[in-house]
């Protein structure tokens, strides 16, 4: 597997690039509900929906503007080999076709959970799916980590949606789901799946709210 290799210079360069790219591509980036109250003594696994090529950029920018934690993103190994620069920003790999490498990736993730400053992003849909697709297909993984981790951690569902209006550029919306404790998910994995899907349903019904926080 490929481990993350954070570099300050890479983050500096990418911050400039991404800000320009988002400004060029979106009219606004809006958070439509309140931030959860984190327990900063515990690490976080954030589980966004996976609906576009942009997804990793969205969580990177949200972390930069709202959370300021050390970001890690689990990425398919074939993609990370192709876009090697992303490991300098915190991406690490998984190979779903190689059980040995997959085990190594899960062990690496559990090691990351030991540091309470870490913000670990896992796309459990595994492939791009529309936020309107039902049923939602989620891979196993969160329940395994919840049961096997040596420490408690927080699980943070996030939903993103791109919506086109009369403006030339679309608006990007984000909604935060209920913060879950790994202990609870270890006992009943269904509560995570229900909250993930519920948050997707709510972003579809609430995105047009006039109460939002802009981060672009």
pLDDT for 139 beyond 90: no
User: pLDDT by residue (tens digit) across 140-179?
Assistant: 889 999 999 999 999 999 999 999 988 899 999 999 999 9
In this prediction the pTM is 0.94
Higher pLDDT, 166 or 29: 29
Q: Is residue 125 included in any domain, yes or no?
A: yes
Q: Is residue 81 included in any domain, yes or no?
A: yes
Confidence of residue 190 (pLDDT cuts 50, 70, 90): very high
Q: Is residue 140 included in any domain, yes or no?
A: yes
Predicted pLDDT of residue 17? 97
Q: Is residue 90 included in any domain, yes or no?
A: yes
Closest CA to 174 of 4, 2, 1, 28: 28
Q: Is residue 209 included in any domain, yes or no?
A: yes
Residue 174's domain comprises 8-214
pLDDT for 18 beyond 90: yes
Q: What is the CATH number of the domain that holds 203?
A: 3.40.1130.10
How many domains, in total, are found in the chain?
1
Predicted pLDDT of residue 154? 97
- Average pLDDT score over residue span 46-68: 94
User: pLDDT by residue (tens digit) across 104-137?
Assistant: 999 999 999 999 999 999 999 877 777 777 888 8
Q: Is residue 1 included in any domain, yes or no?
A: no
Q: Is residue 129 included in any domain, yes or no?
A: yes
Q: What's the mean pLDDT when you consider all of the chain?
A: 93
User: pLDDT by residue (tens digit) across 69-95?
Assistant: 999 999 999 999 999 999 999 999 999
Q: Is residue 2 included in any domain, yes or no?
A: no
Predicted pLDDT of residue 180? 97
């Amino acid at each position: 597997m490929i481990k993350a290799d954070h570099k300050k210079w890479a983050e500096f360069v990418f911050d400039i690039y991404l800000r320009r790219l988002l400004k060029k591509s979106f009219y606004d980036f809006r958070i439509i509900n309140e931030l959860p109250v984190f327990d900063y003594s515990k690490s976080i696994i954030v589980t966004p929906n996976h609906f576009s090529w942009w997804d990793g950029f969205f969580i990177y920018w949200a972390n930069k503007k709202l959370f300021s934690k050390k970001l890690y993103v689990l990425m398919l190994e074939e993609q990370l080999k192709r876009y090697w620069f992303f490991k300098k920003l915190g991406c690490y790999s998984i190979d779903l076709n190689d059980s040995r490498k997959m085990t190594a990736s899960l062990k690496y993730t559990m090691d990351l959970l030991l540091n309470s400053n870490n913000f670990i992003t896992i796309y459990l849909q595994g492939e791009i799916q529309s936020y309107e697709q039902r049923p939602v297909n989620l891979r196993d993984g969160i329940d395994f980590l919840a049961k096997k981790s040596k420490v408690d951690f927080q699980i943070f569902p996030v939903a993103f949606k791109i919506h086109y209006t009369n403006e030339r550029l679309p608006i990007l919306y984000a909604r935060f789901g209920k913060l879950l404790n790994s202990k609870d998910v270890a006992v009943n994995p269904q509560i995570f799946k229900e909250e993930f899907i519920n948050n997707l349903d709510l972003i579809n019904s609430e995105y047009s709210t006039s109460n939002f926080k802009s981060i672009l």
